Structure 1
Amino acid sequence: MNATVVGLVTPHLLRVIDLANEAEKGMNVDWHVRGAVDATMAELRDQWNAQALVASYVEGLETAAKQAPANRPNYVRVLQAAAAAARGGRRD
């Protein structure tokens, strides 16, 4: 099951990380991040192991934000915002 979780969640995490990198360049990515998180949550909720997938997605975002260098505040902000949006999406 771990390979399935990794295989399904990693592309979604990388999409948000790419957006966080764009935010570092000065781009406003807020709408894109919300859209990416919403699309991810919709896709993951359709899977039979949705609870594990969503938990892994949120954990991955939070871990990436915690491990990011402190001198990249926009990068961290985007990852934290995505994690907060994903946590909020769990309740649906």
Structure 2
Amino acid sequence: MKNTVVGLITPHFLRLIDLANQAETGVNVDWHVRNQVASTVEDLGHQYNARELLSAFVDGLEAAARDAGPGRKLYAGVLQKAASMTSVEIKRFD
């Protein structure tokens, strides 16, 4: 079976969406977000196109944060934080 970009990224993306939703309910998700970003970088980092996969992941997180709307600041903040943490890790693949 052939893996696709969407198939590789979606599970990681949805875990962060879930954490962002939990943050809106008052749950402290900081450690969980850091752990999920590290897990995502580890899992996708073994692919031959790791840089592109992680870049697409960051783009998706940033788009979801932009689309969240003004009333969902915690949600958007969690996604932005995850995107910036992943962006730092992408530099390892240069």
**Alignment of 1:87 onto 2:50:** no
CA RMSD of the aligned region, Å?
A: 0.9
Quick one: percent identity of the two aligned structures?
51
**Alpha-carbon distance in structure 1 between the residues aligned to 2:77 and 2:52:** 24
**Paired position in structure 2 for 1:44:** 44
Runs of 4+ aligned structure 1 residues displaced above 3 Å come to none
Give a deviation string over 1:14-71, Cα, whole Å, max 9, x none: 0000000000000000000000001101111101121221111000000000110210
Count of aligned residue pairs for this structure pair: 90
> How do 1:1-92 and structure 2 match up within 5 A?
4-92=4-92
For residues 89 and 59 of structure 2, what CA distance do their matches in structure 1 show? 14
**What's the TM-score, normalizing by structure 1?**
0.94
**Letter of the structure 2 residue corresponding to residue 34 of structure 1:** R
